[in-house]
Amino acid sequence: MSLMTAEEFKKSLQKMKVNAYWDGKKVETLSAHPVTRSVVEATAKLYELAADPQQEGVMTATSHLTGEKINRNLHVNRSTGDLERRADMALLTSQTLGTCNYRCVGCDALNALASVTVEMDRVKGTEYSRRLNAFLQRTQEKDLAVSGAVTDAKGDRAKRILEGDPDMYVHIVERRSDGIVVRGAKMHQSGAFCAHETLVIPGGALRKGEEDYAVAFAVPNSAKGITYVLQYNALSAEREKAEDIFYLGNPRFGQRETCLMVFDDVFIPAENVFMRGEVDFAGALIQRFAKTHRMNCGGACKVGFADIIIGAAQLAAEYAGTEKAPHVREAITHMVRISEASHACAIAAAVKGKEEPPGSGVFMPDDLFGNVAKISTAHGFWQIMALAGDIAGGLVVTMPSFQELKNPATKGYVEKYLKAAVPAEKRMRITKVLQNWTAGLHGPGTWHGAGSTQAQMISLHRVANLEAKKRIAKRIAGIED
Ligand SMILES: Cc1cc2nc3c(=O)[nH]c(=O)nc-3n(C[C@H](O)[C@H](O)[C@H](O)COP(=O)(O)OP(=O)(O)OC[C@H]3O[C@@H](n4cnc5c(N)ncnc54)[C@H](O)[C@@H]3O)c2cc1C
């Protein structure tokens, strides 16, 4: 067993044939396409980080199944220390990539399944835990990239699952002795087309009668019947057209690339099925996924992104000669305050984590702090981007193309009028980075990633322990019931 290198990862993708479409055209080679290449590069960088002795403690762990060194993205958290390192990994990968750790959702789905399969086996006498561990050992030994699929297409939100088009939620359409056949689609799948496998879990709690939808499984991403329809936006077009990606806002690793992942009657062998009809456990599964993912996504991943924005805003101020102005210093300080408050919540969620269920050996973060981390980030990230936009000035959206620096008719003007305390090109480079964040996709991306805030508000209200707070208030008021 050994960790995969970045080069081995790239080679492994060449062998994997995925049915992926971008802007109405089939993607023939993931590493050659201008947009999918950024996902390949970002994931390859994750493998590179794991091989870096300086990052070993964060990016790798010891497998509880084999005792071997494994990538932390395939690790089941066995202690609060593991939870802390998991959050550290989210921070480090965001700081390094400025885009998704495309193995992140898979890691959190894996942890939720590790916890819930133990419970299902205890109550139902199933053997899901053994199957999951077999899958885990196989992926650990090969160091595979596993993405996570949770969010169903859902369709008309006013309708319950059984009232609308049945395919709006991934479900079982055929039960066979050797496995199941599934149909439906998962939306907004981060980088799935560039991962080896995907872990699929239900997107919400389920009721009796909805057994076909209580399904969790692992599937190779090149499996027959899976189609990927990739996202497309102005930044996709900019990257496709770019003659020199050096001038893009995040040249090598790009945007957070997602896709619609369609399951058109995909066969899943029984050995890879980890939930098959247990509606009474779907709620626990999504809830445990959510609290793990919210700690990482809200209180660590977006903190890493904020570090990039804060650093770029400080540089923009220095390049423009405004860094000593009291309101600029205050804006930068507010950005740090907002970001680190979320970070503190992630650390608290990890430190206050618990074994769940008791005796399983699986550790889950604290629900209250995980939810606060995500809600605070969802609101705070807009503020951070607004403050960065203020510091960067109008140039952040009015800047001309870098091609003008090569155009004899305009080069002199751009160099003369866009220079400030530094030459024009340097100023334009950092402004382009800020444009990528403040005028890019990251506002809604941060808001909805790991669930829209209403979902967290509901969870937070549930775990807030209002009864205890009422008792405290009554004691102060001298009220005795
Ligand atoms: C950049 C990015 C990357 C992502 N990566 C992944 C990934 O890798 N894997 C994955 O599984 N998911 C991923 N997601 C999906 C993410 O978890 C969802 O976007 C999020 O859960 C919200 O779901 P939705 O987008 O369907 O929005 P909606 O559910 O349509 O929510 C939109 C609004 O409608 C409200 N709403 C929704 N349903 C109801 C209802 N029944 N009643 C009242 N109000 C309702 C919501 O509260 C919200 O205000 C990603 C999302 C983004 C933006």
**1 lies in a domain?**
no
- Please report the pLDDT score of residue 243 as a whole number: 87
- Residue whose CA is closest, atom 52 of ligand 1? 449
Across residues 238-263, what is the average pLDDT?
Answer: 95
Report the residue among 255, 452, 453, 459 best suited for mutation to probe ligand 1: largest number of ligand atoms under 8 A from its CB: 452
Confidence at 6, pLDDT banded by 50, 70, 90: very high
**481 lies in a domain?**
no
- From residue 422, give the alpha-carbon distance in Å to each of 195, 334, 419: 41, 26, 6
pLDDT at residue 139 greater than cutoff 80: yes
pLDDT tens, 416-425? 999 999 999 9
Q: Checking DSSP bridges between strand 179-186 and strand 259-269, what pairing results, if any?
A: antiparallel
Q: In ligand 1, which atom is closest to the CA atom of 441?
A: 1
Please work out whether the CB of residue 150 comes within 6 Å of at least one atom of ligand 1.
Answer: yes
**398 lies in a domain?**
yes
**479 lies in a domain?**
no
Q: Do the beta carbons of residue 380 and residue 400 sit within 8 Å?
A: no
Please work out whether the CB of residue 440 comes within 6 Å of at least one atom of ligand 1.
Answer: no
* Residue 273 shares a structural domain with residue 290: no
Q: In ligand 1, which atom is closest to the CA atom of 151?
A: 11
* Residue 119 shares a structural domain with residue 216: yes
* Residue 218 shares a structural domain with residue 297: no
Q: How many domains does the chain have?
A: 2
* φ/ψ of residue 178, rounded to 5: -100, 5
DSSP helix/strand/coil, 148: strand
Rounded to the nearest integer, the mean pLDDT of the chain is 97
Please work out whether the CB of residue 189 comes within 6 Å of at least one atom of ligand 1.
Answer: yes
- From residue 100, give the alpha-carbon distance in Å to each of 43, 228, 240, 331, 347: 9, 18, 20, 26, 20
Across residues 444-449, what is the average pLDDT?
Answer: 94
Q: In ligand 1, which atom is closest to the CA atom of 451?
A: 21
Confidence at 197, pLDDT banded by 50, 70, 90: very high
* Residue 194 shares a structural domain with residue 290: no
Q: Do the beta carbons of residue 240 and residue 320 sit within 8 Å?
A: no
Q: Cis peptide leading into 251, omega within 30 of 0? A: no
Q: What's the angle, vertex CA 102, arms to CA 98 and CA 106, rounded to 5?
A: 140
Residue 57 burial (CB count, 10 A):
12
* Residue 66 shares a structural domain with residue 213: yes
Given 219, 242, 277, the domain boundary residue is: 277
- Residue whose CA is closest, atom 38 of ligand 1? 157
**386 C-alpha to center of ligand 1: Å?**
23
* Residue 265 shares a structural domain with residue 297: no
- Residue whose CA is closest, atom 39 of ligand 1? 157
Return the exposure string of 138-156: e unless at least 16 CB atoms fall within 10 Å of the residue's CB, then b.
ebbbbbbbbbbbbbbbeee
* Residue 42 shares a structural domain with residue 80: yes
Please work out whether the CB of residue 445 comes within 6 Å of at least one atom of ligand 1.
Answer: yes
- Residue whose CA is closest, atom 36 of ligand 1? 157
Report the residue among 157, 198, 236 best suited for mutation to probe ligand 1: largest number of ligand atoms under 8 A from its CB: 157
- Please report the pLDDT score of residue 76 as a whole number: 98
Which residue, among 333, 330, 341, has the nearest Cα to 376 in the 3D structure?
341
The CATH number for 359's domain is: 1.20.140.10
- Residue whose CA is closest, atom 31 of ligand 1? 452
Residue type, 70: I
pLDDT at residue 1 greater than cutoff 70: no
Report the residue among 157, 188, 297 best suited for mutation to probe ligand 1: largest number of ligand atoms under 8 A from its CB: 188
- Residue whose CA is closest, atom 47 of ligand 1? 454
Cα separation, 318 vs 458, in Å, equals: 43
Which residue, among 52, 71, 92, 75, has the nearest Cα to 1 in the 3D structure?
71
* Residue 188 shares a structural domain with residue 99: yes
Cα separation, 199 vs 131, in Å, equals: 13
The CATH number for 59's domain is: 2.40.110.10
Confidence at 171, pLDDT banded by 50, 70, 90: very high
**296 C-alpha to center of ligand 1: Å?**
17
Structural domain of 49: 6-277
- Please report the pLDDT score of residue 56 as a whole number: 96
Contacts of 313 by beta carbon, 8 Å cutoff, 6+ apart: 331, 332, 335, 387, 388, 391, 392, 434
Return the exposure string of 67-97: e unless at least 16 CB atoms fall within 10 Å of the residue's CB, then b.
eeebbbbbbbbbebebbbbbbbbbbbbbbbb
**262 C-alpha to center of ligand 1: Å?**
17
Q: Is the pTM of this model over 0.95?
A: yes
Q: Do the beta carbons of residue 156 and residue 113 sit within 8 Å?
A: no
Given 236, 254, 277, the domain boundary residue is: 277
pLDDT tens, 269-278? 999 999 999 9
Task: Please report, rounded to a whole number, the percentage of residues in the chain having pLDDT higher than 90.
Answer: 98
Give the residues across from 184 on adjacent strands: 263
- Please report the pLDDT score of residue 316 as a whole number: 98
Cα separation, 368 vs 94, in Å, equals: 23
**475 lies in a domain?**
no
Please work out whether the CB of residue 231 comes within 6 Å of at least one atom of ligand 1.
Answer: no
pLDDT tens, 359-402? 999 999 999 999 999 999 999 999 999 999 999 999 999 999 99
Please work out whether the CB of residue 99 comes within 6 Å of at least one atom of ligand 1.
Answer: no
Cα separation, 126 vs 141, in Å, equals: 25
**281 C-alpha to center of ligand 1: Å?**
21
* Residue 211 shares a structural domain with residue 347: no
Please work out whether the CB of residue 219 comes within 6 Å of at least one atom of ligand 1.
Answer: no
Q: In ligand 1, which atom is closest to the CA atom of 455?
A: 47
* Residue 342 shares a structural domain with residue 196: no
- Which class for 242: exposed (0-12), middle (13-18), buried (19 or more C-beta within 10 A)? middle
Confidence at 481, pLDDT banded by 50, 70, 90: confident
DSSP alpha helix (H) spans, 364-479? 367-392, 395-398, 411-417, 424-438, 442-448, 453-463, 466-477
Q: What's the angle, vertex CA 200, arms to CA 195 and CA 205, rounded to 5?
A: 150
Report the residue among 100, 448, 459, 460 best suited for mutation to probe ligand 1: largest number of ligand atoms under 8 A from its CB: 448
Tokens of 284: 């626990």
Max CA separation in the chain (angstroms)? 84
pLDDT at residue 27 greater than cutoff 70: yes
H or E segment and range at residue 266: strand 259-269
Q: Is the dihedral of CA 365, 366, 368, 372 positive or negative?
A: negative
